């Protein structure tokens, strides 16, 4: 119980945990208020499950909207500069977490990038602190209830565009763990909405991999640690403490699967980089060029179930090491920003 109490207290949980059903990231609304395709306007709210990190001059704001019979909450960070239309980056938390926790886990790095480069960043809250990422054996509230997260995240950019000047050709997704697997699902089944994705600490699930048939080459950046104790680099069962959460491909097999889907040429590897010897990690970048796309794998040697240069939310015995070798926020954005939906 000591570990569980600590996990809840952190509010930065990119783990796939089984939380009590009473703790929900979105409250159900009366059936008359909406069905699977019901959508309502974005409105101010104070019901986000976690506060956003206040590491920037301005804080993100909490909003709510109704979709699929649930009130969905989300934190939104808008750049201080005027103008637009802006790109949109959807940042998905891991299982057991929330949007505000994800903002904190990344040290508000995407918010600072937003102020510098001009983009809107959204940190949605999953129902029951998780996402229905396509694993049928994931024992989460989102899966048990059959939550239509795919439909919701497909609709979200358009709903946000009613309030903010968003460029529909430059919509991107990233996320860690359960949020990373949900990013893969968006690349597979929402390639007409999301121009590119960047999953972190996540491999393709064995269920999604054979079913994934995007209608176009989707640029994908993968960041995985070789010593991840939860999402195994070599594939197999996802393990959280004593629980299993479905099976995934290995990181190399995930990289190979996306290269095949995108019709890429041969992969090539850069030289190993160890810029911070004291952190006990290093990294190698594997790249494959495709027609109008790219698939890239950051192999973080010695890295764990963590966000490089992010918050060390739990001890290394539970989640592994946090690499200090590169800023994952900047690497993710530098990759995604190069792409837009084809006309």
Q: Which tens digit of pLDDT belongs to each residue from 171-185?
A: 999 999 999 999 999
pLDDT-derived band at 53 (thresholds 50, 70, 90) equals low
Helix (H), strand (E) counts: the chain: 10, 13
Distances (CA, A) of 200 to 4, 154, 203, 248, 339: 23, 20, 8, 14, 19
Please name which of 78, 43, 39 lies closest in space to residue 63, comparing C-alpha atoms. 43
Query: pLDDT at position 59, please?
Result: 85
Q: pLDDT tens digit string along 293-341?
A: 999 999 999 999 999 999 998 889 999 999 999 999 999 999 999 999 9
pLDDT-derived band at 41 (thresholds 50, 70, 90) equals confident
* SS3 (DSSP) at 260: helix
Query: pLDDT at position 127, please?
Result: 95
Evaluated on CA atoms 215, 221, 223, 224, the torsion sign reads positive
Q: Is pLDDT of 36 > 60?
A: no
Query: pLDDT at position 139, please?
Result: 76
Give the mean pLDDT of the chain.
88
**Cα angle, residue 189 at apex, residues 60 and 300 outer, rounded to 5°:** 65
Backbone angles phi, psi at 227, to 5 degrees: -110, 30
3-state SS string for 2-41: HHHHHHHHHCCCCCCCCCCCCCCCCCECCHHHCCCCCECC
Could you give the CA distance from residue 142 to residue 132 in angstroms, rounded to a whole number? 5
Across 10-24, 127-141, 201-215, 320-334, least confident range:
10-24
Query: pLDDT at position 315, please?
Result: 87
Could you give the CA distance from residue 306 to residue 309 in angstroms, rounded to a whole number? 9
Q: Is pLDDT of 33 > 80?
A: no
**Cα angle, residue 4 at apex, residues 52 and 17 outer, rounded to 5°:** 70
Q: Is pLDDT of 67 > 50?
A: yes
* SS3 (DSSP) at 46: coil
Please name which of 327, 270, 276 lies closest in space to residue 299, comparing C-alpha atoms. 270
Q: Is pLDDT of 75 > 80?
A: yes
């Amino acid at each position: 119980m000591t570990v569980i109490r600590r996990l809840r207290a952190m509010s930065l949980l990119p783990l796939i945990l089984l939380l009590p059903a009473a703790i929900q990231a979105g409250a159900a609304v009366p059936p008359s208020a909406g069905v699977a395709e019901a959508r309502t306007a974005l409105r101010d709210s104070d019901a986000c499950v976690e506060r956003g990190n206040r590491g920037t001059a301005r804080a993100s704001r909490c909003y709510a909207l109704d979709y699929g019979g649930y009130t969905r909450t989300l934190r939104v960070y808008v750049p201080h500069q005027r103008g637009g239309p802006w790109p949109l980056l959807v940042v998905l938390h891991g299982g057991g977490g929330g949007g505000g926790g994800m903002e904190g886990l990344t040290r508000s790095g995407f918010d600072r990038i937003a102020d510098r480069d001009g983009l809107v960043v959204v940190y949605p809250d999953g129902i029951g602190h998780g996402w229905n990422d396509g694993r049928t054996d994931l024992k989460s509230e989102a899966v048990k209830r059959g939550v239509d997260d795919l439909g919701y995240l497909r609709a979200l950019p358009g709903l946000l565009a009613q309030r903010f000047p968003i460029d529909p050709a430059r919509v991107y997704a990233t996320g860690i763990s359960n949020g990373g697997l949900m990013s893969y699902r968006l690349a597979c089944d929402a390639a007409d909405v999301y121009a590119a994705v960047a999953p972190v600490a996540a491999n393709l699930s064995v269920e999604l991999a054979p079913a994934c048939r995007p209608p176009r080459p989707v640029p994908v950046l993968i960041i995985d640690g070789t010593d991840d104790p939860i999402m195994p680099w070599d594939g197999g069962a996802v393990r959280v403490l004593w629980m299993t959460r479905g099976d995934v491909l290995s990181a190399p097999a995930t990289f190979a699967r996306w290269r095949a889907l995108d019709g890429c040429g041969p992969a090539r590897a850069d030289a190993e980089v160890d810029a911070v010897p004291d952190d006990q990690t290093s990294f190698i970048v594997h790249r494959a060029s495709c027609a109008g796309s790219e698939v890239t794998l950051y192999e973080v040697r010695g890295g764990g179930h963590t966000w490089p240069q992010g918050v060390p939310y739990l001890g290394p015995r539970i989640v592994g090491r946090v690499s200090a070798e590169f800023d994952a926020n900047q690497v993710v954005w530098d990759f995604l920003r190069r792409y837009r939906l084809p006309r």
